[in-house]
Amino acid sequence: MKAQRIRRGLLWLSFVLLPVTLNYFSPYLILDGLFRGILAGAFLVWAGFAVTSLFVGRAACAYICPYGGLQMTMDRAFGRPLRQVRWLRSFRYLLGLVWAALILYPLIEGAVRDTLTLSPLYLTEHIISADSASKLIFCYVIIALLAVLPLFLGKRATCHYLCPMSILNVAGSRLKNRLNLPSLRLMADQDRCVSCRKCDKVCAMSLPVSEMVRCGRPDHPDCILCGECSAACGTGAVKRTWAPRSAEERQRAAAGRTAIAPVRRGQSR
């Protein structure tokens, strides 16, 4: 549990520091910079998220994403379960694909023409993002807007229904799992599961972890590998590991290849 306290502390700190780091997490500055031939700091951050997802999946969402820190704080304050809205889940992927296309077009064009320049402090000349009263107000407006979905739809709703950047990490996670790369992942042992469902209750992303364990498929694309489930499990039925999947695990996963609902708890629309 000490590791989880440290993780939560880091995530909360990333949220508190958002007035400093906002520009480095801004999807707008990525696009604004690329259409001007500039690789901004935000581009480097999210490119780093995408690359590291091949080794740690979506763990960046669980440790250093300030918007994840915002939602964790709201969950602690309000404790509202996630409400499943199917069309919004599809909207996130559509938004992510449009966002990725808008990135790739100027990026490829600039690379071909050799016109790209690196500027990590693009529009952040003083390093601090909110270096004036107006920018600080804008930062809090962004926080308020991102808090709307979790306020009305519950736990980490912004991650589930709005974040376009998450598809980069989802794609990297799927690729590492398909290639069976040595990387951070969940490992399930059905024989140790006693169906206590503690893992379901503590999952930061409201996933049906116990069902994932039972089916031998703990590699859910929305899993952020926070480790809450393995910390709560008293039998070792689910835990984090860096080892590639064994032949037995792959066989079990193939045998249990059933449709696992994204979220079991909450209401559907």
d(CA 216, CA 194): 14
| pLDDT score of 266 | 45
d(CA 197, CA 183): 26
Which of the pair, 237 or 245, is modelled with greater confidence? 237
Class of residue 18 by CB neighbours under 10 A (exposed 0-12, middle 13-18, buried 19+): buried
Q: Using one digit for the tens of pLDDT, what is the confidence trace for 176-212?
A: 988 888 999 999 999 999 999 999 999 999 999 999 9
Residue 260 has pLDDT above 70, yes or no: no
Query: For the residues 123-142, what does the mean pLDDT come to?
Result: 95
Q: Using one digit for the tens of pLDDT, what is the confidence trace for 11-25?
A: 999 999 999 999 999
Q: Using one digit for the tens of pLDDT, what is the confidence trace for 104-122?
A: 999 999 999 999 999 999 9
d(CA 148, CA 154): 10
| pLDDT score of 55 | 94
Strands 185-188 and 238-241: antiparallel
- Tell me the sheet residues that pair with 239: 187
Which of the pair, 88 or 1, is modelled with greater confidence? 88
| pLDDT score of 253 | 66
| pLDDT score of 197 | 96
Q: In order of start, what are the domains of the chain with their CATH numbers?
A: 2-170 (no CATH), 181-255 (3.30.70)
- Tell me the sheet residues that pair with 186: 240
Residue 90 has pLDDT above 80, yes or no: yes
